[in-house]
């Protein structure tokens, strides 16, 4: 009834329409764009991912507010307003994150939310975001099934999903070890580790039919000590060890495996090794295959945005940005690009306008071009790059870099990553 | 054959680590009837103290040998200080309360110490690999093991013997046994129970910190370390029997060997095995392997 009243052709109708327009405008009668940023500020993932992402958010937002970014982002603010960042700790699990998300949207009146490293958190937040009709950008989580199991209107992921990490790693291994016969694996026992290992072994099976699995070790997240697992790897004489380990687990494993001489016998393939390669420059063996989960960090192209990003990050935090920093910055830039596209049609765009503008958007980031081409324009694809570690003059470097176009390592629209790999990568353009 | 050797050696290495972690927890429970969940934080504090000391030490190019002594010193200093602070500052005010209340109190301490660690050491992982790396490798049955891991087995044997000797062959140990047997009677006989409690808690804390400090060179020391380890330590002491040093030793060995066997033969059940063993033992002996079922006092 209220709806009918509001839409009766009268003076009241005009007032109602005006009120609705004002209510939908972004943000309601405010002078700033409130951006919720959720990442790990405590817990195991804070060091390798959460804090680098927070740092990246700070320098990107500061540069946006100062109008100090290179083109095409050199206009101040988002949707013409200065950005106010509301930072939230992602630690605590999906249930807590859903509560925090509701707080951000309903209490703090965030205009958009960018967040979530953990795939579990992404899977929990996405339906709530659609329920609350709030533009939400998943900046780092990798699970392909976020958009494979359901369509979302208000949820986007501005980084490629995790399947391409392992498809690219398998392609790289097939190139550098054409006679590979047997592979070992050690991955953390949760969705990330299990999916990574499955994608890698299934990709290897398609690229090199007949490849055997020696042993697949799945210690729990945060196990720390891997003596038994390393013995099992040593007893299975495969040519390589695949691992999607990250953070302290990765660093502990690298050290313990080195002390046991594992690298003398098996090639190390680390799909998420890039954030640790500078810290462990003297521990990682030369030749180890390193990935950064996309064209990030050392694999990022030489463009104006990347030069700005690397310099600003190095200057403020005295260390180079890792992939978590890159994906945070590109999520914020994707939001800004969408807001500016929406402003071309409406100088004061609503949240809905920005959502529409972000669908199927192609925008530039420090990591190169990002195409929102999967999941009806809600999931990004990018190229991937893989290389080999080499200590040169005491510095950690990457050599023998191979780049794989987006269409080579990402499934096309309309299929899932698992089915695409199972089918032998139909339609892949390498 | 190599698999069997690997299972035994890996099992013993893991068991020795579990025992050092669990010994302090079970000692404190045995004497004070406090299931000290903050033991995990003492492990983490020991790990951070050890790693920081080693980083400082090697930055000055001192000889490697001294770093091992430094790890032990860091553990004793940090464990004793924090243990004393927790016991005198908080726990002594709670004595006489129900065991469940003490669990909640020590859980609160765990959370506070986790945040304190973050404030002091930040969220970046600390690495101090030199003592681990410099000990080299040892070959057993055609397989290479890190000598440092094997040295930990020797350390855990020393800790077990020292605890056994201290409890069973010294006057202080006899007093401790009297307090364990009957706290009220011990008080009536003139034993200074408060002092026994302080000493026990500090020794338990130092053992927790020692476990952390000795583990630090093998791992990247990162936030959350204490929470991870307390669950494992709890499984060990419950399997062996709460309050029993011998129980912790046997519990650690059973769990260590079972886990190593799972890793080598059936890696998919590795996570399940630890708690599966615990559940099996508790199904047969609800009080654990070595704890005696006590008569309830009225």
Q: Are A327 and A296 in contact (CB under 8 A)?
A: yes
Q: How confident is the prediction along chain A (430 residues), in pLDDT tens digits per residue?
A: 334 333 334 444 444 444 444 444 455 445 899 999 999 998 888 888 999 999 999 999 999 999 999 989 999 999 889 999 999 999 989 999 999 999 999 999 999 999 999 988 999 999 999 999 999 999 999 888 899 889 999 999 999 998 899 999 999 999 999 999 999 999 999 888 999 999 999 999 999 999 999 999 999 988 989 999 999 999 999 999 999 999 899 999 999 999 999 999 999 999 999 989 988 999 999 999 999 999 999 999 999 999 999 999 999 999 899 999 999 999 999 999 999 999 999 888 999 999 999 999 999 999 999 999 999 999 999 999 999 999 999 999 999 999 999 999 999 988 999 999 999 999 999 9
Residue of A nearest to B136 (CA): A259
> For the structural domain made of A163-292+383-422, what CATH number should be given?
3.40.50.2300
Whole-angstrom Cα distance, residue A242 to residue A289?
9
> Which CATH architecture is the domain B2-284 placed in?
Orthogonal Bundle (1.10)
Domain with CATH 3.40.50.2300 in chain A: 32-161+301-381, 163-292+383-422
Whole-angstrom Cα distance, residue A301 to residue A303?
6
Do A224 and B9 lie within an 8 Å CB cutoff? no
Whole-angstrom Cα distance, residue B281 to residue A373?
55
Q: Are A404 and A385 in contact (CB under 8 A)?
A: yes
The tally of CA atoms less than 13 A away on the side-chain side of residue B20 is 29
Whole-angstrom Cα distance, residue B213 to residue B73?
9
Q: Are B153 and B216 in contact (CB under 8 A)?
A: no
**Given A218, A222, A247, which is nearest B268 (Cβ)?**
A218
| Of residues B50, B43, B44, the one with CA closest to residue B21 | B43
Nearest chain B Cα distance for residue A339, angstroms: 34
Phi/psi of residue A392, nearest 5 degrees: -120, 120
Note if the bond before A27 is cis, omega within 30 degrees: yes
**E-strand stretches of A139-293:** 155-157, 182-186, 212-217, 240-243, 267-270, 289-291
Rg (alpha carbons) of chain A, rounded to whole number: 23
Torsion of CA B272, B278, B284, B290, to 10 degrees: 160
Render pLDDT for B154-206 as a digit per residue (tens, 0 to 9).
999 999 999 999 988 999 889 888 888 888 888 899 999 999 999 999 999 99
Please name the helix (run of DSSP H) or strand (run of DSSP E) that holds residue B163, with its range, or none.
Answer: helix B147-168
How many residues are present in chain A? Answer: 430
**Given A41, A260, A280, which is nearest B145 (Cβ)?**
A260
| Of residues A122, A151, A159, A144, the one with CA closest to residue A406 | A159
Rg (alpha carbons) of chain B, rounded to whole number: 19
Domains of chain B, residue spans? 2-284
Nearest chain A Cα distance for residue B124, angstroms: 4
Do B143 and A227 lie within an 8 Å CB cutoff? no
Please name the helix (run of DSSP H) or strand (run of DSSP E) that holds residue A363, with its range, or none.
Answer: strand A362-365
Q: Which of B122, B231, B267 should be substituted to probe chain A, the one whose Cβ sees the most A Cβ atoms within 10 Å?
A: B267
Please name the helix (run of DSSP H) or strand (run of DSSP E) that holds residue A398, with its range, or none.
Answer: strand A395-404
Fold designation for A32-161+301-381: Rossmann fold (3.40.50)
Note if the bond before A72 is cis, omega within 30 degrees: yes
Residue B138, beta-bridge partner list: B145
Render pLDDT for B205-219 as a digit per residue (tens, 0 to 9).
999 999 999 999 999
Whole-angstrom Cα distance, residue B60 to residue B63?
9
């Amino acid at each position: 009834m209220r709806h009918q009243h509001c839409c009766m052709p009268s003076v009241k109708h005009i007032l109602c329409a005006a009120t609705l327009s004002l209510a939908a405008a972004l943000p309601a009668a405010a002078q700033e764009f409130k951006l919720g940023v959720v990442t790990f500020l405590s817990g195991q993932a804070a060091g390798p991912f959460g804090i680098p992402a927070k740092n990246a958010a700070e320098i990107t937002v500061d540069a946006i507010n100062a109008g100090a970014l290179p083109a095409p982002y050199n206009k101040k603010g988002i949707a013409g307003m200065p950005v106010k960042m509301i930072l939230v700790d992602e630690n605590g699990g999906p249930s807590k994150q859903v509560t925090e998300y509701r707080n951000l949207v309903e209490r703090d009146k965030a205009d958009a939310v960018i967040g979530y490293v953990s795939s579990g958190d992404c899977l929990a937040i996405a339906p709530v975001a659609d329920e609350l009709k709030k533009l939400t950008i998943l900046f780092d989580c990798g699970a392909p099934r976020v958009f494979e199991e359901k369509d979302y209107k208000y949820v986007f992921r501005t980084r490629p999903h995790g399947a391409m990490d392992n498809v690219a790693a398998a392609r790289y291994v097939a190139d550098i070890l054409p006679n590979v016969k047997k592979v070992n694996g050690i991955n953390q026992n949760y969705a990330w580790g299990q999916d990574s290992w499955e994608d890698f072994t299934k990709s290897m099976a398609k690229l090199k039919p007949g490849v055997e699995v020696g042993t697949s070790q799945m210690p729990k997240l945060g196990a720390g000590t891997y003596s038994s697992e390393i013995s099992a790897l040593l007893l299975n004489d495969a040519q390589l060890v695949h691992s999607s380990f990250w953070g302290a687990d990765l660093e502990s494993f690298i050290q313990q495996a080195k002390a046991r001489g594992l690298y003398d016998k098996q090639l190390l393939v680390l799909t998420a090794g890039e954030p640790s390669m500078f810290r462990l420059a003297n521990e990682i063996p030369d030749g180890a295959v390193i990935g950064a989960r996309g064209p990030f960090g050392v694999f990022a192209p030489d463009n104006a945005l990347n030069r700005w990003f690397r310099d600003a990050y190095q200057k403020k935090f005295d260390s180079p940005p890792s992939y978590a920093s890159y994906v945070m910055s590109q999520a914020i830039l994707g939001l800004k690009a969408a807001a500016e596209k929406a402003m071309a049609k409406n100088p004061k765009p609503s949240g809905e306008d920005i959502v529409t503008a972000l669908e199927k958007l192609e925008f530039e980031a420090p990591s190169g071009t990002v195409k929102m081409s999967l999941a009806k324009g809600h999931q990004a694809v990018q190229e991937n790059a893989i290389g080999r570690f080499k200590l040169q003059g005491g510095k950690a470097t990457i050599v023998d870099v191979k780049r794989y176009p987006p269409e080579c390592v990402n499934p096309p629209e309309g299929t899932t990553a698992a089915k695409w790999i199972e089918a032998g990568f139909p339609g892949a353009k390498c | 054959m190599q698999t069997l050797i690997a299972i035994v050696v890996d099992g013993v290495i893991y068991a020795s680590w579990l025992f050092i972690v669990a010994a302090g927890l079970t000692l404190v429970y045995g004497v004070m009837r406090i299931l000290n969940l903050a033991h995990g934080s003492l492990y983490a504090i020991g790990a951070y103290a050890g790693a920081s000391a080693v980083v400082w030490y090697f930055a000055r190019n001192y000889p490697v040998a001294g770093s091992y002594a430094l790890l032990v010193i860091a553990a004793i200093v940090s464990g004793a200080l924090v243990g004393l602070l927790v016991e005198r500052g908080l726990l002594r005010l709670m004595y006489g309360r129900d065991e469940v209340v003490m669990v909640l109190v020590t859980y609160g301490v765990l959370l506070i110490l986790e945040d304190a660690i973050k404030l002091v050491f930040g969220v970046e992982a600390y690495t101090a690999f030199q003592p681990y790396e410099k000990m080299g490798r040892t070959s057993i049955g055609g397989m290479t093991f890190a000598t440092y891991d094997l040295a930990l087995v020797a350390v855990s044997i020393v800790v077990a013997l020292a605890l056994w000797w201290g409890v069973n062959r010294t006057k202080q140990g006899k007093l401790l046994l009297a307090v364990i047997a009957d706290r009220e009677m011990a008080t009536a006989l003139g034993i200074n129970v408060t002092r026994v409690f302080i000493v026990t808690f500090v020794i338990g804390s130092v053992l927790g910190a020692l476990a952390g400090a000795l583990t630090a060179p093998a791992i990247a020391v990162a936030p959350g370390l204490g929470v991870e380890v307390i669950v494992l330590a709890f499984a060990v002491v419950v399997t062996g029997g709460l309050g029993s040093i011998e129980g912790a030793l046997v519990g650690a060995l059973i769990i260590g060997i079972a886990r190593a066997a799972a890793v080598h033969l059936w890696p998919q059940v590795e996570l399940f095995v630890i708690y599966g063993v615990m559940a099996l033992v508790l199904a047969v002996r609800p009080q654990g392997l070595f704890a005696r079922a006590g008569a309830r006092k009225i």
